[in-house]
C-alpha cells in the first residue's frame, strides 16, 4: 500500500521498562512489526515519527526504558501487527505497563459528518509485562487511578479506600482463576517437590 495515500494516521504511545542488559539488537527485533510496517529497513530508519515534533521510538540505555511516541500512516491492517508487537515486548519488559494506539481517520471530513457517516477513529489500550501478574498489576493501577480521579470530584480521597479494596478483590479473583486454569492437567505436586509450573507469574501487589 502507498503510505502517502493511507486512510489512517496511527499513533503509538507508551513508556516500557526494559530488562537491564538488553541490547539494541534485541530491541530492534522486538520492534520489527512497527518499523517493518512503516517500510523501513531497520529500527534506526523506522524510529522517526511522521511528525517532527514527536520523539518517535527511543531506547534509553541509562534508565532502561523504551519510549514510544510515534505516528505512521496506514490502514486497518495495522491491527494485525499489535499482537506480535506485544508478545515481543513482553519478552524484554521488566514491569507491566500500557501501550496506547490511536487511529485517526484522515479521510473523514465535515461533509462526512454532516451526512451521518461514521469516522474510523479508534483507540486501543494494550498491556504488556514479563508475566501475567505484572500485566494485571498495570491494569489494576490504571483502573484505580481512573476510578479514584473520577470519584474525587464527589468524595474525599480518604473515603475511597473501600472502593480500592473492592477493585483489588476483583483482580485477586481474576489472578486466582488464571492460575487455576493454567494448573488444569498438570501433575499434582509431589512430597517435597514442585510441579515445575510457573505460568501464573507473581501475584499482583494489593493496596489496602
Tens digit of each residue's pLDDT (9 = 90 or more) over 33-73: 999 999 999 999 999 999 999 999 999 999 999 999 999 99
Residues 24 and 59 sit within 8 Å (Cβ to Cβ): yes
Residue range(s) defining the domain that contains residue 140: 135-183
Residues 63 and 114 occupy one common structural domain: yes
Does residue 60 sit within a domain? yes
Residues 50 and 113 occupy one common structural domain: yes
Mean pLDDT of the 95-109 span: 90
Does residue 197 sit within a domain? no
Give the start-end residues of each E strand in the chain: 8-17, 56-60, 65-74, 97-105, 122-128
Residues 97 and 148 occupy one common structural domain: no
Task: Say how far apart CA 186 and CA 197 lie, in whole Å.
Answer: 8
Residues 59 and 84 occupy one common structural domain: yes
Paired with 101 in beta bridges are: 12, 124
- What is residue 110's predicted lDDT score, i.e. its pLDDT? 56
- What is residue 194's predicted lDDT score, i.e. its pLDDT? 39
Residues 67 and 37 occupy one common structural domain: yes
Residues 120 and 172 occupy one common structural domain: no
Residues 22 and 109 occupy one common structural domain: yes
Does residue 83 sit within a domain? yes
The total domain count for the chain is 2
Residues 83 and 110 occupy one common structural domain: yes
Residues 36 and 126 occupy one common structural domain: yes
Mean pLDDT of the 165-177 span: 84
Paired with 5 in beta bridges are: none
Amino acid at each position: 500500500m502507498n503510505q502517502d495515500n493511507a486512510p489512517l494516521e496511527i499513533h503509538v504511545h507508551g513508556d516500557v521498562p526494559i530488562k537491564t542488559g538488553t541490547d539494541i539488537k534485541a530491541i530492534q527485533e522486538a520492534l520489527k512489526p512497527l518499523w517493518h510496517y512503516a517500510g523501513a529497513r531497520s529500527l534506526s530508519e523506522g524510529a522517526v515519527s511522521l511528525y517532527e515534533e514527536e520523539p518517535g521510538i527511543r531506547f534509553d540505555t541509562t534508565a532502561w526504558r523504551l519510549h514510544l511516541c510515534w505516528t505512521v500512516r496506514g490502514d486497518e491492517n495495522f491491527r494485525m501487527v499489535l499482537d506480535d508487537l506485544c508478545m515481543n515486548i513482553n519478552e524484554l519488559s521488566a514491569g507491566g505497563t500500557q501501550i496506547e494506539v490511536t487511529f485517526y481517520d484522515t479521510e473523514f471530513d465535515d461533509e462526512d459528518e454532516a451526512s451521518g457517516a461514521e469516522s474510523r477513529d479508534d483507540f486501543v489500550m494494550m498491556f504488556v509485562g514479563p508475566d501475567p501478574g505484572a500485566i494485571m498489576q498495570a491494569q489494576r493501577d490504571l483502573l484505580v487511578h481512573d476510578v479514584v480521579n473520577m470519584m474525587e470530584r464527589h468524595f474525599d480521597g480518604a473515603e475511597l479506600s473501600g472502593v480500592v479494596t473492592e477493585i483489588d478483590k476483583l483482580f485477586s479473583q481474576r489472578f486466582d482463576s488464571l492460575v487455576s486454569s493454567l494448573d488444569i492437567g498438570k501433575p499434582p505436586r509431589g512430597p517435597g517437590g514442585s510441579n515445575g509450573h510457573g505460568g501464573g507469574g507473581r501475584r499482583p501487589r494489593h493496596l489496602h
